[in-house]
Structure 1
């Protein structure tokens, strides 16, 4: 029951954060929408910051769990394309979660600890993919943190574009162009598509 109440709170928070923004969705409103007492919310989350961070990491984990496992025997471009397509399909099936991620990532609520957890633990396979590409000689040798930031930004911008332009979601040219721009930002000269 406790785990389901925690999930009810997270589900209600997602809806209210997307509708009212991170500032506008008060904890009392979230508790009411979740059908729990405010005290129950604070039993599960010490404060709003902790609630927002938990939701952010949960969504990142949900997306990561749907992606194909990293195959170190595959070519980096093929693996990057498979991960990109899987992540994009998930994003387009969960537009409110993407809207929340976008709002949170640019907000003062995002702590360095949460950012680090999302980037290097939950999405650590992206760093492994970059390292795989460097061994193959196709990925540029730039600082890992900057490369991870670039991957996040390019993916989220592309996902937001397709969410805002639903008529282009199935357009192969647009989808291929988004993947090409992503790859080309990471690839060494001579290995771009």
Structure 2
């Protein structure tokens, strides 16, 4: 029951944060809408910042769980494309989760440690793909942290665009274009798409 109350709080917080922002979504309001006492909310989350961090990491983990495993026998671009397509399909199925990530990624409420955990622990296999691609000469030899930030930013920008423009999301040329922009930003010369 405790785990389900925690999940009720997270689900309600997501809706209220997206609809009303941080200020409008007070912890008392989140608790009331979730059907729990305010004390129950604070039993699971010490403060609003902890609630936001937990929600952020949960969403990132949900996305990570949706992505295919790395396969060393496949070309880097093929693996990157499979991950991109799976991530984009998940994003389009969960627009409020993407809106939350977009709204709060640069917020001072999310600590650098939380962002780093999401990037390098939860989505650490993306870093492994980057290292593999660099070792093969398929990806540019840029610093790993910069590459991870570029991956995040390009994916989130594309996902946000497609969520705001669903007619574009349904167009295969738009989807292919988004993937090509992503790949070309990371690819080594000679491995870029036309």
Q: Which category describes the TM-score, using the shorter chain as reference length?
A: over 0.9
> Matched residue of 1:157: which SS?
helix
Q: Does 1:112 align with 2:119?
A: no
Displacement over 4 Å in runs of 4+: none
Matched ranges for 1:137-152 at <5 A: 137-152=137-152
Q: Which residue of 2 aligns with 1:57?
A: 57
Matched ranges for 1:1-193 at <5 A: 1-193=1-193
* Structure 1 gap segments, 5+ residues each: none
Separation (CA, whole Å) in 2 of partners of 1:129 and 1:11: 31
Separation (CA, whole Å) in 2 of partners of 1:30 and 1:141: 45
- Return the offset for 1:110: 1.2
Give TM-score, length-normalised by structure 2.
0.98
- Return the offset for 1:140: 0.7
Separation (CA, whole Å) in 2 of partners of 1:126 and 1:136: 15
The number of residue pairs the alignment matches comes to 193
> Matched residue of 2:3: which SS?
helix
Separation (CA, whole Å) in 2 of partners of 1:92 and 1:43: 33
